[in-house]
Amino acid sequence: DTWELSYSTTSGAPNDGTIVTVNSKSYLLENLTPKTTYYVYVRAKCSDTDKSQWSEVCEFTTGIFVANNGTETNAYVPVYGW
């Protein structure tokens, strides 16, 4: 199974986002900016020319992880499956 995942910090057309090819039913978005809203779409990719329509948008806002010393150290995101 292969999918394309599009993500962006601006709401707009899925083709305007960063598009990655995913070969499993889960994918970890890394190096996201804390306290930032992201917009994610997914679609099936059967071949380079045979792809489904993009899904509805999945919108989420990253949080922060605060270390014991009060330092913001890492962004985290909710986990979604498709």
- Residue 32's pLDDT band (cuts 50, 70, 90): confident
**Phi-psi map region of 15: left, alpha, beta (phi>0 left; psi -120 to 50 alpha):** alpha
- Mean pLDDT over 55-72 rounds to 77
- Mean pLDDT over 41-66 rounds to 90
Q: What is the pLDDT of residue 47?
A: 92
| Amino acid in position 16 | D
Per-residue pLDDT reduced to its tens digit, 3-23? 999 999 999 999 999 999 999
Query: Strands 65-66 and 37-44: what pairing?
Result: unpaired
Q: What is the widest separation between alpha-carbon atoms in the chain?
A: 51
Q: What is the pLDDT of residue 74?
A: 54
